[in-house]
């Protein structure tokens, strides 16, 4: 907690950019980031703000000799001033020289064990739950004879 707290403090007051708070504003309050263990989410109301937060995260990671996982990092949001159109990464937000992929608002992003959709939909989460149930049912079907044999021996 002490280790990542500095990362979150920098999202809220970015030391690389004059202590600017680029957090997303909700009812006059700023929410710059959320996190639990190694899951971190940075939030901003502007693409420029996300770029500054990304720069802070990269420098924080460099200082601590850490790498960001390019396969797990996702970017989602809507274009400023455009009616809910998906944001575009213009190459400003990269990991290991690769653009961080933009995920449309109707597609879920795994966060803290759940599938979160920016459009507040549930389809991705329900698909994940149904996939888990299907996997369990398939496993039971594959081992049905073994279960039946062990149960009959126990009785």
Global pTM reads 0.78
Cα–Cα distance, 100 to 123 (Å, whole number): 23
Chain segment 17-63, per-residue pLDDT in tens: 999 999 999 999 999 999 888 788 899 989 999 999 999 999 999 99
The structure tokens 């809910």 sit at 84
Between 107 and 147, the higher pLDDT residue:
107
Tell whether the torsion through CA atoms of 66, 71, 76 and 79 is positive or negative.
positive
Same domain, 14 and 86: yes
Q: How many CB atoms lie within 10 A of CB 124?
A: 17
Boundaries of domain holding 44: 2-118
Same domain, 65 and 141: no
Nearest to 26, CA basis, from 51, 43, 41, 7 = 43
Same domain, 110 and 151: no
């Amino acid at each position: 907690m002490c280790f990542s707290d500095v990362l979150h403090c920098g999202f809220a007051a970015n030391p690389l950019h004059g202590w600017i708070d680029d957090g997303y504003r909700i009812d006059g309050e700023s929410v710059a980031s959320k996190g639990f263990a190694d899951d971190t989410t940075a939030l901003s109301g502007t693409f420029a703000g996300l770029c500054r937060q990304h720069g802070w995260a990269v420098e924080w990671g460099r200082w601590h000799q850490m790498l960001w996982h390019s396969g797990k990092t996702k970017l989602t949001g809507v274009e400023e001033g455009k009616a809910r159109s998906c944001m575009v990464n213009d190459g400003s937000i990269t990991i290991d020289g690769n653009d961080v992929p933009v995920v449309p608002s109707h597609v879920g992003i795994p966060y803290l064990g759940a599938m979160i959709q920016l459009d507040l939909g549930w389809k991705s989460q329900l698909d994940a739950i149904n996939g888990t149930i299907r996997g369990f049912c398939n496993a039971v079907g594959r081992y049905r004879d073994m279960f039946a044999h062990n149960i009959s021996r126990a009785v």
